[in-house]
Amino acid sequence: MKNPAKVGKVMKEFKNGTLHAGRNPKGPKKAPIVKSRKQAIAIALSEAGMAKAINKGIKNATDKMKGK
């Protein structure tokens, strides 16, 4: 894991209702607040830099199942 503390921070923001889905929550067009737990997990993994590792693992597993 690259940064599990970041995942915890983002999930805490989601629990408090302050996690935004866009890049700049304070900009002129405010980003919408995240309502879905799945979306919050995706944001947390992405910000922690773990999404790429997880996707790579899934791709490797599917390649093995196909016999590549």
Look at residue 60 in the predicted model and tell me its pLDDT: 62
Look at residue 4 in the predicted model and tell me its pLDDT: 78
More confident residue, 27 or 8: 8
Does this model's pTM top 0.85? My answer is no
Q: For 22-59, what is each residue's pLDDT tens digit?
A: 777 677 777 888 999 999 988 888 888 766 666 666 66
Q: What's the average model confidence in pLDDT over 57-67?
A: 60
- C-alpha 39/C-alpha 53 separation (Å) is 18
Element (H, E) at 63: helix 51-66
Half-sphere exposure of residue 42: CA atoms within 13 angstroms, side-chain side: 10
Look at residue 66 in the predicted model and tell me its pLDDT: 63
